[in-house]
Structure 1
Amino acid sequence: MQPRKPGAWTFFRQWLKNPLRTAAVAPSGPELAAAMIAELPDDARRIIELGGGTGAITRALLDAGIADRDLLVLELNEELHAHLHRRFPQAQVLLGDARSLPALARANGYLDAGPADAVVSGLGLLTMPPPLQRSLLAAAFECLRPGGSFVQFTYGPAAPVADTVMRELRLHVRRGEFVLRNVPPATVYVYTREAAA
């Protein structure tokens, strides 16, 4: 019998309570976490994670050498936030809405050391209406350095951000790895922003 992923039951229970708010029925697998990390900029040191869930990607980021003080994890679900806080007591784990990321990151002091090099997202962008996508992405890019990356995974067959949002925010997208062994299979996408004219 295969060992259960840490927090799998916690995650599934939260999905049962609110399937639209929790993007998947199971935590991300190690292959998906590795595919997300492979898309980080080579010099990435400061990372923000949106939708930490049970910590599969958080654990992989720390294992890849990201220091606790350089990692900010944001989770909206109170039970998953408490789980993350117990599992990663040294990391900066915040409870809150990703639309409020700039204010939360400033209040926490994370941005005092400068903007993040990348944002890694486990949010269910594909199921969100464009105005919500726009708010989330605008907040994320406000916390990113120029040239920083927004790394997102999705379970759908196409890039998860609406074309209208891409145009409004001047975003470019690149398709990363398709991870067949994840449950369900997922594709990684990397979003970057055009420099302001």
Structure 2
Amino acid sequence: MSSGPAACRDRKRSRWTFFRQWLLHPRSVASVTPSSPELGVAMMAEMPAGARRVIELGGGTGALTRSIREHGIADQDLLVLELNPELHRHLREEFPQAWVVQGDATRLRAAAASAGYLQGGPADAVVSGLGLLSMEKAMQRDILASAFDCLREGGRFVQFTYGPRAPVSDRVVAELGLKVRKGEFVLRNVPPATVYVYEKNS
């Protein structure tokens, strides 16, 4: 992981950008602070073996994006979707070689296809920092359905949540024919977070 004065300045700038957007849009920005490196490591541990192509939902200031790249995913195989215009601009500047797209996660398939990302094939994993737990069931269903439309057979949807329960309702899981597994609890995150993994039933 990068260190030194420049990296410290970048982290402070990212935190301030994120906090400012949380003040402006508290319902759509899920947390006051970006995800910790420890949470990024826990989410990368849930990637399918040999994962090469990844989509990130809710890129924010790029905290998880950096973890994805450090996991070995090349920029040309990484698509980052962000709805917030200022955070989208920040991500474009931070990751100019990646596929950084402004759009709604309920229409991920259309956004990824329009950008040209899916011409390289489906993704192996979708990594999500969205606040699914606070969303209506219909929106949860639309987001996961669109995500799995972009995933290869055996692909995974990796999500974290701050709540005490799974971030996707049991009804949505059943409707989409998914199975869910609880991953690591990350205490060194503000607030502490739990990782969940969703896959299609075989």
TM-score by length of 1: 0.96
Counterpart of 1:29, as a letter, is S
- CA positional deviation for 1:31: 0.2
2:39 aligned to 32, 39, 64, which one? 32
- Asked if structure 2 preserves the Cα contact closer than 8 Å seen for 1:6 and 1:54, the reply is no
Q: Which runs of 4+ in 1 moved over 2 A?
A: 1-6
C-alpha distance in structure 2 between counterparts of 1:2 and 1:71, whole Å: 25
Report the counterpart of residue 194 of structure 1 in structure 2: 201
SS at match of 1:100: helix
Q: What do residues 32-91 of structure 1 show as CA deviations (whole Å, max 9, x unaligned)?
A: 011011100111000000000000110111112100010000000000000111111111
1:132 aligns to 2:139 (yes or no)? yes
C-alpha distance in structure 1 between counterparts of 2:102 and 2:127, whole Å: 16
SS at match of 2:153: strand
Give the gaps of 5 or more residues in structure 1: none
Pair 54,3 (structure 1): closer, same or farther in 2 beyond 3 Å: closer
SS at match of 2:86: helix
Report the counterpart of residue 41 of structure 1 in structure 2: 48
Counterpart of 1:70, as a letter, is D
C-alpha distance in structure 2 between counterparts of 1:72 and 1:37, whole Å: 16
Counterpart of 1:127, as a letter, is S
SS at match of 1:53: coil
Report the counterpart of residue 158 of structure 1 in structure 2: 165
SS at match of 2:167: coil
The number of equivalent residue pairs is 195
1:183 aligns to 2:190 (yes or no)? yes
Overall identity of the aligned pairs, in %: 65
TM-score by length of 2: 0.93
1:76 aligned to 80, 83, 91, which one? 83
- Root-mean-square deviation (CA, aligned residues, Å) is 1.5
Report the counterpart of residue 148 of structure 1 in structure 2: 155
1:113 aligns to 2:120 (yes or no)? yes
C-alpha distance in structure 1 between counterparts of 2:183 and 2:9, whole Å: 28
SS at match of 2:97: coil
- CA positional deviation for 1:3: 8.9
Counterpart of 1:158, as a letter, is R
Q: What do residues 113-151 of structure 1 show as CA deviations (whole Å, max 9, x unaligned)?
A: 111000000000000010000000000000001110000
SS at match of 1:7: helix
Q: What do residues 5-31 of structure 1 show as CA deviations (whole Å, max 9, x unaligned)?
A: 451011111111121111111000000
